[in-house]
Structure 1
Amino acid sequence: MKKFDTILWDVDQTLLDFELSQAYALGKSFRQFGLEMEDSALSLYVDINNTYWKRHELGEVSKAELLTGRFRTLFSELAIKDIDIGNFASVYQEALGSVFYFRDDSYNLCRRLKGRVRQYAVTNGVTSTQQNKLHLSGLDKILDGIFISEEIGYPKPQKKYFEICFKKIPDFRKEKAIIVGDSLSSDMRGGNEAGIACCWYNPEGKENNLELKIDYEIKNLWEVEKII
């Protein structure tokens, strides 16, 4: 008898390589605005973006503040002026949703698991961006559902986010569900708060510095097949 019948997949940096998409989108946006982007600018943006997302997870900034604030901070740090932040943010977001890169051949893994377990995407990304990436990648046709925080009304890791997701899944049982994701602060903390099993996708061998309960730790997504 299988342990789990429902997998909650994180999207960015789990099923799809967000870092590659992020680099592409930022570079394209810089070029469109006639700006040169050095490697240091990408590294700086990544740090700023991660900080804003963590603050959003904690409820310290809204999604709207995040989407523009990260670029306002970036351009301030780079001493770049006279940029329409709102326009730049829109161009970036569109570019971000126009490309996708699978991690660990995730498409074929999800296709292989289809019918054996129910699979849902759980993501904090921007609705239009995530919907477009999942559609272009074909994952939307394999997954049983997609739960985007903007539509749910709460971000991961908030317990309310998961409670609403659970209500939308037919015959849902916590003891039969597992969340798979790369983020300790979002996915694993969320799983802990929601009371479901947690599988930490940790290919880089990072330390669990948040002391969260991790039921399984994997370096390749295909290890999930053995867990379920």
Structure 2
Amino acid sequence: MKYRLFLLDLDDTLLDFRASERLSFKRMLASLGVPDTADAVFADYQGINRGLWTALEQGEISKDVLKVERFRRLFALHGIDADPRRASDSYLDWLPQTVVLIEGARALCDALAAQGEIGIITNGIEQVQSRRIAVSGLADRISFVATSEACGHAKPDERFFAFSTAMARRFVKSQTVIIGDRLEADVLGANRYGIDSCWFNPARLPNDGSATPTLEVHALRDIPSRFAAC
């Protein structure tokens, strides 16, 4: 295996963010005394949230704006009489308490840690991500965590990857690979920074963008053998 530095995305690569997101959202509504109309309201939240995260990654808004704005827009859309800032605080408090691992995440981290150094690269909110990693049981396999909040730039910005690799014990481009589920953030960022990438694509989605992964896998358990062949 030529790789010695493994930069892993967190949400929907190692941790099942969708499962955590839904449960945290339901608990947030309950804490505010808002009736749970789950599916319709949650679907709208996801759409609003995705749009704001895209704006963040394009440098159009800040993370502090995103945290509250998603709930402000959602509550306005559904006529919900609740404080969006309180909703944000409650939701971010619940997220680290609802951690679900993607199948194969622990075995993957064991295998990669035996071969080199693991760093987490995430556009998520630093305080929340640190707590989620601690709860996940994966922390002892991880050497460092790089967040866009600490860096000031988000994936796929090259400055984020320069910030991340500077945290590694040793960085050699040819021995570094990014593993992530998002073409437009993880793989495109790797392309721009000049390092290899492994696209985790469990849903077998088509690649209809400009990002080009070095490898594509559909299950985490397949990654060590694919890397061994490199």
Q: TM-score, normalised by structure 1?
A: 0.95
For residues 122-161 of structure 1, what are the structure 2 equivalents within 5 Å?
122-161=121-160
> How far does residue 72 in structure 1 lie from its aligned partner after superposition?
0.8
* Residue in 1 that maps onto 2:111: 112
Equivalents in 1 of 2:31, 2:164: separation in Å? 38
Quick check: 1:48 aligned with 2:48? Answer: yes
* Residue in 2 that maps onto 1:197: 196
The letter for the 2-side match of 1:73 is: R
> How far does residue 28 in structure 1 lie from its aligned partner after superposition?
0.1
Q: Secondary structure at 1:14's aligned position in 2?
A: coil
| Kept after mapping to 1: 8 A contact 2:107/2:221 | no
* Residue in 1 that maps onto 2:65: 65
Equivalents in 2 of 1:227, 1:152: separation in Å? 31
Equivalents in 1 of 2:34, 2:61: separation in Å? 28
Equivalents in 2 of 1:58, 1:131: separation in Å? 24
Which range moves more in the overlay, 105-114 or 201-210?
A: 105-114
For residues 1-228 of structure 1, what are the structure 2 equivalents within 5 Å?
2-38=1-37, 39-81=39-81, 83-228=82-227
Q: Secondary structure at 2:118's aligned position in 1?
A: strand
> How far does residue 142 in structure 1 lie from its aligned partner after superposition?
1.0
| Kept after mapping to 1: 8 A contact 2:156/2:188 | yes
Q: Secondary structure at 2:115's aligned position in 1?
A: coil
> How far does residue 117 in structure 1 lie from its aligned partner after superposition?
2.1
Deviation >6 Å, runs of 4+? none
Q: Secondary structure at 2:189's aligned position in 1?
A: helix
Identical residues among aligned pairs (%): 29
| Kept after mapping to 2: 8 A contact 1:97/1:128 | no
Equivalents in 2 of 1:183, 1:113: separation in Å? 20
The letter for the 1-side match of 2:220 is: L
The letter for the 2-side match of 1:63 is: K
| Kept after mapping to 2: 8 A contact 1:123/1:147 | yes
Equivalents in 2 of 1:186, 1:112: separation in Å? 25
Structure 2: runs of 5 or more not aligned: none
The letter for the 2-side match of 1:68 is: V
The letter for the 2-side match of 1:48 is: I
| Kept after mapping to 2: 8 A contact 1:57/1:156 | yes
The letter for the 1-side match of 2:33 is: G
**What value does the CA root-mean-square deviation take over the aligned residues?**
1.1
Q: TM-score, normalised by structure 2?
A: 0.95
| Kept after mapping to 1: 8 A contact 2:184/2:211 | no
Equivalents in 1 of 2:54, 2:21: separation in Å? 17
| Kept after mapping to 1: 8 A contact 2:110/2:141 | yes
Q: Secondary structure at 2:114's aligned position in 1?
A: coil
Structure 1: runs of 5 or more not aligned: none
Q: Secondary structure at 2:174's aligned position in 1?
A: helix
> How far does residue 148 in structure 1 lie from its aligned partner after superposition?
1.3
Equivalents in 2 of 1:213, 1:42: separation in Å? 32
Q: Secondary structure at 1:168's aligned position in 2?
A: coil
> How far does residue 193 in structure 1 lie from its aligned partner after superposition?
1.3
> How far does residue 42 in structure 1 lie from its aligned partner after superposition?
1.1
Aligned residues: 226
Equivalents in 2 of 1:26, 1:164: separation in Å? 32
Q: Secondary structure at 1:97's aligned position in 2?
A: helix
